[in-house]
Amino acid sequence: MEKYYNDAIIGNKEITASFTKKGELIRFFYPNTDYRQFIDFLHIGLKINDSSMIYLHEDINNTYKQYYTEDTNILNTEILNTYFELKVLQTDYVCSDKNILIRKYKMKNNNSIDLDINFIIYSSLLTDENNQVSGYYKNNCLFQYMHDYTFTICSDRKIEKSQINNNQANIQTGIIGDKDYVGMSNDSSINYNLQTLKPNEEIEFCIYITAFHGSDVKNIEKQVEDVKNIDYEKELERTKKYWEKYVKDHDTIKLTNSNSEYMKKLKSIYKRTILLYPLLTNHITGGISAAVEIDEDRTKCGRYSYCWPRDRNIHNKCIRHFRNGKRNRKIL
């Protein structure tokens, strides 16, 4: 699948991650927004009772609603599987002061029957003949590594099953598992057996996605163990306050409050712009990417993840016009 569109972007100073409007994580840049992009795909699936794989990002029975927590880069995606009447709230954010993407799932059984839920993560990293990916499972964590970088997925829960090699052969069944714990494979999968949800019951579940630079394996494994002990609620509140303060500190225009739909929309776009700029900025060089890359293989364009000085000039011109009250003038 070609990934041409980013519908939502989150991140911090070193991680930039983008999503589809259905909550699929499609890009993960580290250690800055204009450098390495790790993900080929990262699919989340559920095996419910005796079903085959039900992908959260793509199923005929799923409906979606997506929105940011106000004045933040915290992304919420509501998913309802109408066949099993399972409601899922997926919340994604990158910690403001830690290089960890935290993803929380809150699931509720709105059905009249019990739902036995297996949660499956199917992760594939970008690879080629000069940048091959390997994977291994250890200490309840999936490690995928290549050329001095390591990508990890874990939770504070126990992994029930893992599969490093030949995932394509059986992933659609929702049943994974093999004897391998290490292999030259760019795609691997892990399975968490959550529990049986009775009617009207809820469950919460977090996964932690991280990336590391360097080849000190023991140190990386130690840091991953620390990640598992993170307090989700404290990190969420810290990140929420960080972005709210960021918006307040950078709101230089001070648009007037109004109940008109036009002004509400304008204010929403303005604040979202404030929140987007730091996610496109290389905080070491100061370069601002024109966009999160939309065409890595150049099938439609000549690439667009460049720093265009022209775009910065246009932005400054827009700011000057707003400050001068010339909102209706032609800017370009």
71 Cβ partners below 8 Å, 6+ apart?
243, 244, 247, 271, 275
Domain finish residue from 169, 201, 231: 231
- Which pLDDT does position 62 carry in this prediction? 97
Q: Say yes or no: 242 and 227 in one domain.
A: no
Q: Say yes or no: 76 and 181 in one domain.
A: yes
Q: Say yes or no: 147 and 217 in one domain.
A: yes
Distance from C-alpha of 179 to C-alpha of 40, rounded to nearest angstrom: 25
- Which pLDDT does position 328 carry in this prediction? 43
Q: Pick the residue with more confidence: 321 or 281? A: 281
- The answer as to whether 82 is a domain residue is yes
Number of structural domains, the chain?
Answer: 2
Phi, psi of 215 (to 5 degrees): -120, 15
**Domain extent at residue 271:** 238-323
Tokens 């800017």, residue located: 331
Q: Which of 39, 53, 242 is nearest to 127 (CA)?
A: 39
Q: Say yes or no: 222 and 92 in one domain.
A: yes
- The answer as to whether 328 is a domain residue is no
Q: Pick the residue with more confidence: 290 or 38? A: 38
Q: Which of 153, 158, 165 is nearest to 212 (CA)?
A: 153
Per the structure block, which two tokens stand in for 148? 């001095």
- The answer as to whether 331 is a domain residue is no
- The answer as to whether 133 is a domain residue is yes
Q: What is the CATH number of the domain that holds 46?
A: 2.70.98.10
pLDDT digit string, tens, across residues 183-226:
888 899 999 999 899 999 999 999 999 999 988 889 999 999 99
Q: Say yes or no: 265 and 167 in one domain.
A: no
From the number of C-beta atoms within 10 Å of its C-beta (0-12, 13-18, 19+), residue 144 rates as: buried
Domain finish residue from 231, 253, 276: 231
Q: Pick the residue with more confidence: 312 or 330? A: 312
Q: Say yes or no: 43 and 91 in one domain.
A: yes
Whether the link from the prior residue into 31 is cis, omega within 30° of 0, is: yes
What is the average per-residue pLDDT within 166-177? 92
Q: Say yes or no: 227 and 254 in one domain.
A: no
- The answer as to whether 108 is a domain residue is yes
Q: Which of 10, 200, 196 is nearest to 103 (CA)?
A: 10
- The answer as to whether 18 is a domain residue is yes
Residue 107 has pLDDT above 80, yes or no: yes
Query: Do residues 237 and 144 lie in contact, with contact meaning Cβ atoms separated by under 8 Å?
Result: no
pLDDT band at 330 (very low <50, low <70, confident <90, very high): very low
- The answer as to whether 252 is a domain residue is yes
Q: Say yes or no: 141 and 175 in one domain.
A: yes
Domain finish residue from 198, 231, 264: 231
Q: Which of 78, 85, 81 is nearest to 109 (CA)?
A: 85
85 Cβ partners below 8 Å, 6+ apart?
109, 110, 111
Edge-to-edge strand order for the sheet containing 149-154? 62-68, 75-81, 86-94, 100-109, 202-213, 149-154, 141-146, 134-138, 182-183
- The answer as to whether 171 is a domain residue is yes
- Which pLDDT does position 308 carry in this prediction? 61
